[in-house]
Structure 1
Amino acid sequence: MFKVLVSDPISDLGIQQLMDASDVTVDKKTGLSEDELIAIIGEYDGLLVRSQTTVTEKIIAAGTNLKVIGRAGVGVDNIKLEAATQRGVVVINAPDGNTITTCEHAFAMMMALARHIPQAYAKTISGVWDKKTFLGVELRGKTLGVLGMGRIGSEVAKRAKAFGMDILAYDPFLTADRAEKLEVKLASVDDIVRGADFITVHTPLTPETRHMISRPQFEVMKKGMRIINCARGGVIDEMALVEAIDSGIVAGAAFDVFEKEPPEADHPFLSHPKIIVTPHLGASTVEAQENVAIDVSEQVLHILRNEPFINAVNIPPVAPSVMNKLQPYFTLGEKLGSFVTQITDGAIREIHVEYAGDLSDVDTQPLTRYIVKGVLSRHFAGDVNIVNSMHLAKTRDVNVVVTKASKTKGFTNLITVTLKAEHDEERLVAGTLLQGYGERIVQVNKFPVDIAPEGHQIVISHNDKPGIIGLVGTLLGQNDVNIASMQVGRKIVGGAAIMLLTADKAVPQDVLVKLAGLPEINTAEEITLL
Structure 2
Amino acid sequence: MKILVSDKVSDEGVEILRQAHEVDVKHNLTPDELIATIPQYDALVVRSETKATRAVIEAAANLKVIGRAGVGVDNIDIQAATEKGIMVINAPDGNTVAATEHTMAMMLALARNVPQAYRSMKEGKWERGKFMGVEMRGKTLGVIGLGRIGTGVAKRALAFEMKVLAYDPYISEEKAEDLGIELAELDQIYAQADFMTLHLPLTPETKHLLNDGVFAKMKKGVRIVQCARGGVIDEAALVRAIEAGIVAGAAVDVFEKEPVLPENPLLKLDNVIVTPHLGASTKEAQLGVAVDVAAGVLAALNEEPVTTAVNMPPVPLRVMQLIKPYFQLVEKMGTLAVYLAEGRIQSIEVEYKGEISEVDSKMLTIATLKGVLNPILQEAVNYINAPTVAKSRGIKVREMKSQETEHFANLISVRIRTDKGDHRVAGTLFGEEARIVMIDGYRVDVTPRGLLLIVPHNDHPGIIGAVGSLLGEKKINIMSMQVVRTEEAGKSIMFLEVESDICNDSLLKIKALNGIFGAKLVNFDAK
Question: What interval of TM-score do these two structures reach, taking the shorter chain for normalisation?
Answer: 0.5 to 0.7
Cα distance, 1:248 vs. partner?
3.4
Q: Does 1:197 align with 2:194?
A: yes
Once residues 25 and 171 of structure 2 are traced to their aligned partners in structure 1, the CA distance between those partners, rounded to angstroms, is 45
1:113 aligns with 2:110: yes
- Pair 1:156 & 2:144 matched: no
Provide the C-alpha distance between the structure 2 equivalents of 1:35 and 1:239, rounded to a whole number of angstroms: 34
Deviation at 1:272, TM superposition (A): 1.1
Match of 2:163 among 161, 166, 170: 166
Give the structure 2 partner of residue 361 of structure 1.
Answer: 349
The aligned counterpart of 1:30 is 26
Distance 1:185 1:31, change over 3 A: closer
AA partner of residue 10 (structure 1) = V
The DSSP-based 3-state class of the residue aligned with 2:116 is helix
Alpha-carbon shift at residue 7 of structure 1 (Å): 5.0
Say which SS state the counterpart of residue 361 (structure 1) adopts.
Answer: strand
Residue matched to 2:11? 12
Instruction: List aligned pairs for 1:308-387, cutoff 5 A.
Output: 308-313=305-310, 359=347, 361=349, 365=362
The 1-side partners of 2:127 and 2:293 are apart by: 48
Structure 1 residues 275 and 73: alpha-carbon distance in aligned structure 2, compared to 1, 3 A threshold = same
Question: For the residues of structure 1 that align with 2:164 and 2:114, how far apart are their CA atoms?
Answer: 24
Within 2, Cα distance between the matches of 1:49 and 1:191? 38
Q: Cα deviations across residues 339-382 of structure 1 (Å, max 9, x unaligned)?
A: xxxxxxxxxxxxxxxxxx9646358947988xxxxxxxxxxxxx
Q: C-alpha displacement at 1:110, in angstroms?
A: 0.6
1:278-303: CA deviation from partner (whole Å, max 9, x where unpaired): 23332233322222111111122323
Inter-partner Cα distance in structure 2 for 1:52 and 1:11: 15
What are the Cα deviations for residues 324-346 of structure 1, in whole angstroms up to 9, with x where unaligned? xxxxxxxxxxxxxxxxxxxxxxx
Distance 1:266 1:161, change over 3 A: same
Question: Following the alignment from structure 2 to structure 1, what is the Cα–Cα distance between the partners of residues 217 and 87?
Answer: 48
| CA shift in 2, pair 1:129/1:28, >3 Å | same
Shift of 1:223: 3.6
Does the residue aligned with 2:288 lie in a helix, a strand or coil?
helix
Say which SS state the counterpart of residue 130 (structure 2) adopts.
coil
Contact 1:312-1:387 at 8 Å conserved across structures:
no
Give the aligned partner of residue 128 of structure 1: 125
Distance (whole Å) between structure 1 residues aligned to residue 111 and residue 193 of structure 2 = 14
User: What RMSD in Å do the two structures reach over aligned CA positions?
Assistant: 4.5
Q: Radius of gyration: which is bigger?
A: 2
- For the pair 1:72 / 2:69, whether they are aligned, the reply is yes
SS of aligned partner of 1:307: coil
How many Å separate the matches in 2 of 1:207 and 1:290?
31
| Contact map agreement 2:5 2:45 (CA 8 A) in 1 | yes
For the residue of structure 2 that corresponds to 1:110, the secondary structure is helix
1:101 and 2:89 aligned: no
AA partner of residue 167 (structure 1): V
Matched residue type, 1:187: A
Displacement of 1:93: 2.7
The alpha carbon displacement at 1:26 in A equals 4.8
The residue number in structure 1 matching 2:179 is: 182
3-state SS, counterpart of residue 133 of structure 1: helix
Identity %: 52
Taking structure 1 as reference, are residues 280 and 141 closer, same or farther at Cα in structure 2, changes over 3 Å only? same
SS of 1:228 mapped into structure 2 = strand
Residues 366/26 of structure 1: CA separation in 2 closer, same or farther (3 Å cut): closer
Please, which runs of 5 or more residues in structure 1 have no aligned partner? Answer: 324-356, 370-385, 391-400, 406-411, 413-530
Quote the Cα distance in structure 2 between the aligned partners of 1:319 and 1:195: 52
Distance 1:67 1:289, change over 3 A: same
After superposition, the C-alpha distances for 1:414-469 in whole angstroms (9 at most, x for unaligned) are xxxxxxxxxxxxxxxxxxxxxxxxxxxxxxxxxxxxxxxxxxxxxxxxxxxxxxxx
Matching of residue 142 in structure 1 with residue 139 in structure 2: yes
What is the CA–CA distance in structure 2 between the aligned matches of 1:208 and 1:67, rounded to whole Å? Answer: 28
Aligned residue among 257, 265, 268 for 2:265: 268
TM-score computed with the length of structure 1 as normaliser = 0.53
Q: 1:51 Cα shift?
A: 5.0
- Aligned residue pairs total 341
SS in 1 for 2:270: coil
Q: How far 1:120 sits from its partner (Å)?
A: 0.9
Cα distance in 1 for residues equivalent to 2:110 and 2:26 = 40
Aligned residue runs from structure 1 range 341-490, under 5 A: 359=347, 361=349, 365=362, 403=400
Cross-structure match for 2:525: none
Deviation at 1:115, TM superposition (A): 0.6
Partners of 2:206 and 2:76 in 1: how far apart?
27
Question: Conserved in 2, the CA contact under 8 Å of 1:123 and 1:130?
Answer: yes
Output the TM-score relative to the length of structure 2: 0.53
- The whole-number CA distance in structure 2 between the counterparts of 1:359 and 1:308 is 24
Q: Per the alignment, do residues 243 and 45 of structure 1 end up closer, same or farther by CA in structure 2, a change over 3 Å counting?
A: closer
SS of the equivalent of 1:276 reads strand
Moved more, 70-79 or 310-319: 310-319
Is the contact between residue 144 and residue 167 of structure 2 (CA under 8 Å) also seen in structure 1?
yes
Tell me if structure 2 keeps the 8 A contact 1:6–1:26.
Answer: no
CA distance in 1, matches of 2:83, 2:238: 45
Contact 1:214 1:236 in 2 (8 A): yes
SS at match of 1:13: helix
Alignment CA distance shift 1:170-1:71 (3 Å): closer
Change (3 A) 1:87 1:104: same
Residue identity opposite 2:191 in structure 1: R
The answer for the alignment partner of 1:60 in structure 2 is 60
The structure-2 alpha-carbon separation of the partners of 1:206 and 1:4, relative to structure 1 and needing over 3 Å to count, comes to closer
- The answer as to 2:277 corresponding to 1:280 is yes
Residues 165, 387 of structure 1: alpha-carbon distance in 2 compared, 3 angstrom cutoff: farther
Letter matched to residue 14 of structure 1: G
Deviations 1:59-79 (A, max 9, x none): 632x4xx65443323455666
CA deviation map 1:3-26 (0-9, x unaligned): 65545443332345445x5xx245
Could you tell me how far apart the structure 2 residues matched to 1:210 and 1:252 are? Answer: 21
